[in-house]
């Protein structure tokens, strides 16, 4: 799985196609979408227009609560493959647990079947808490390959990252540059950016990579797309890494994040 990819929300089919084509041309190989984004057709069009062979690409999508059943998951996977025209999925995720519906274990069982059948290459979840993950493990014994969660330096999610590390789950960060623009103007981030002669966004993305995370920043700007992927030659010092990590707001940050016990689609 590539370490850095392209997030595609909230672009629609028409807007996303040229962005995906441009991103792949810049070297992006991980493309992240979802049924709920309503842009899978456009993502597929952009991938085809890029001219890059399918086997060099890593395509992730997610299904919503309407597909939380064994049969529903199979149908969702088939529909996503058809809409994108990609032949197969590299990674399929449960988008939100929606625990009040009590169907995410059935959805996980459906993903396990798809994996065994070879219809997807990896399976995982998104926005799952440790309690949700515990239930999957207890009832199926199968560990997700990935949990995609909201995560940035001010929302460090140390506890769930530690859980992932203990169970061999890849942590993938959505909204890695923060849910608003405040993170990129933080004095710590701007100071370190100046020390390296790089942009604040590049410094934040390098922090994610140094923690071993996968990131999927989103942008439709050609300049930002190029900027976001140009982070593999930055070397943060241990002190700089610690200074950025210290921005974590702890419980206050967790309280400001979307709560998957009460929110989901």
Q: Say which residues have a Cβ less than 8 Å from residue 223's Cβ, sequence separation at least 6.
A: none
- CA 108, 109, 110, 113 dihedral sign is positive
Q: Are 7 and 216 within 8 A, CB to CB?
A: yes
Q: C-alpha distances in angstroms, 170 versus 50, 103, 123, 167, 237?
A: 28, 23, 11, 9, 24
37 is catalytic: yes
Candidate list 37, 88, 104, 163, residue with the active-site label: 37
Closest CA to 72 of 82, 64, 81, 60: 64
Nearest Cα residue to 61 out of 111, 135, 113: 111
Q: Is-contact 40 61, C-beta < 8 A?
A: yes
Active site residues: 37
């Amino acid at each position: 799985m590539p370490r850095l990819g392209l997030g595609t929300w909230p672009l629609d089919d028409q807007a996303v196609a040229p962005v995906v084509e441009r991103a792949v041309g810049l070297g992006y190989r991980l493309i992240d979408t979802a049924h709920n984004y309503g842009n899978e057709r456009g993502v597929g069009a952009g991938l085809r227009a890029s001219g890059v062979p399918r086997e060099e690409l890593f395509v992730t999508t997610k299904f919503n609560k309407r597909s939380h059943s064994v049969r529903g998951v199979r149908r969702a996977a088939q529909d996503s493959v058809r809409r994108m025209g990609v032949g197969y999925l590299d990674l399929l995720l449960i988008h939100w647990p929606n625990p009040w519906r009590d169907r995410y274990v059935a959805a996980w069982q459906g993903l396990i079947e798809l994996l065994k059948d070879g219809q997807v290459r990896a399976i995982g979840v998104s926005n799952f808490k440790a309690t949700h993950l515990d239930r999957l493990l207890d009832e199926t014994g199968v560990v997700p390959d990935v949990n995609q969660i909201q995560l940035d330096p001010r929302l460090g999610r140390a506890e769930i990252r530690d859980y992932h590390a203990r169970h061999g789950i890849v942590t993938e960060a959505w909204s890695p540059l923060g849910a608003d623009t405040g993170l990129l103007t933080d004095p710590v981030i701007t100071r370190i950016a100046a020390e390296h002669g790089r942009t604040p966004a590049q410094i934040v993305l390098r922090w994610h990579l140094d923690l071993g995370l996968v990131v999927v920043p989103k942008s439709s700007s050609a300049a930002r797309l190029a900027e976001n992927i140009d982070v593999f030659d930055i070397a943060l010092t241990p002190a700089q890494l610690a200074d950025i990590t210290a921005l974590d707001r702890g419980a206050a940050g967790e309280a400001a994040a979307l709560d998957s016990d009460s929110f989901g689609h």
